[in-house]
Amino acid sequence: MTRIAVDAMGGDHAPFEIVAGAVWGAAQYGVALELVGKQDQIEQCLETIQQEGFLSDCGKAGKKKKIKVDIKSLDIKITHASEVIEMGEAPGQAIRKKKNSSIVLAVNSVATGSSDGLVAAGSTGAAMASSLFGLGRIPGIDRPAIAVTLPTMKKPVVIIDGGANSNCTPQMLKQFAIMGMTFSKNVLGIQKPKVGVLNIGEEAGKGNELAQSTYNLLEEEKEKFNFMGNVEGKELFLNVCDVVVCDGFAGNVVLKVVEGTSSLLFKMIKSEFKSDFLGMIIGMLAKPFMRRIYGRINYEEFGGCLLLGVKGVTVIAHGRSKAYAIKNAVRVARDAVETQVNKTIAEII
């Protein structure tokens, strides 16, 4: 049985929502758990969940459902961690100083084979750094990167890097392309993924130095990468390609602007429907439809992003994750373990 380690102390809503999501995922996706964090707090969470259950909006804004999980039926191991790495700490320093932190011990569990993969909703930098040092890099990959799946009208698109590396070289982006293609094929099931470079114009020669050089590198091996050239931000959702490479700064800006724009639009829709009496009635009728759309684009549905390029499975969840998002992150971790993405990357590289 696949066992997923979860950093129970990481994220804005730790430990309760994290523990709740973890057991929910374990029950739903048939995996064993290793909960890493302060033992007494974890045990208290488990007791509350067993006795009272918990409320979750199930990825649809507003509507909450009571979730019940029979914890006794699950295979759960608790690993005590006396320290926690906070959001503001410098990652490299923090993981060296806090050897007994929940994230470092959770990574250790994967490194020693006690668990098969890991879910972390705390500091992204700390999750990255501890995975890099604890699991090790795949030979031939300079820097691990975060693969993020974006929803579109048709098939999902992978953006890589989603925020692991702020300063990148063209060579790194070429490696991101290989990792992204493997993810797209193994996890998303896209047979011959097409690669594009995030840029601010379609023509070759557009954009900054990084985008231009990356374009040239991929163009040299056009067939191998199924390279289709530059992709602009407005085309990300139009399925012009399956994998978009960029540095982690641009990639993270993209993700957060998608989040900000969707949230603005939903607010505008709400306020527009409230502008008159007729609108309020139509708005009420339209609510279930709006909830379904919210569910289609909500990051909670995607659970978390996979860190590619390390020798093991680390799923990085949103810091704001509640139970529903963590449940889905457990699914992503299970899929990544079963499809062996990082092993395949190692073989290709």
Give 28 or 166: the residue with its C-beta nearer to a copy of itself: 166
Q: How far is the CB of 269 from a copy of itself (least distance, A)?
A: 6
Q: How far is the CB of 28 from a copy of itself (least distance, A)?
A: 25
According to DSSP H, which parts of the chain are helical?
16-29, 39-52, 91-97, 102-111, 124-135, 170-186, 209-220, 222-225, 248-273, 277-297, 299-302, 323-339, 341-348
**What residues line the site for a copy of itself (CB under 8 A)?**
87-88, 90, 151-153, 163, 166-167, 198, 200, 203, 205-209, 211, 232-238, 247-250, 252-265, 267-269, 271-273, 275, 279, 282-283, 285-286, 289-290, 292-293, 296-297
Give 99 or 267: the residue with its C-beta nearer to a copy of itself: 267
295: tokens are: 């569910």
Q: How far is the CB of 212 from a copy of itself (least distance, A)?
A: 9
Identify whether the C-beta of residue 237 lies closer than 8 Å to the C-beta of residue 149. Answer: no
What residues does 54 pair with on adjacent strands?
67
- Specify burial of residue 42 (Cβ count, 10 A radius: 0-12, 13-18, 19+): buried
Element containing residue 150 per DSSP (H, E) = strand 145-150
Give 19 or 231: the residue with its C-beta nearer to a copy of itself: 231
What backbone torsions phi and psi does residue 65 show, to the nearest 5 degrees? -120, 150
Give 28 or 167: the residue with its C-beta nearer to a copy of itself: 167
Q: How far is the CB of 149 from a copy of itself (least distance, A)?
A: 14
Q: How far is the CB of 230 from a copy of itself (least distance, A)?
A: 12
Output DSSP code: residue 100. T
Give 1 or 153: the residue with its C-beta nearer to a copy of itself: 153
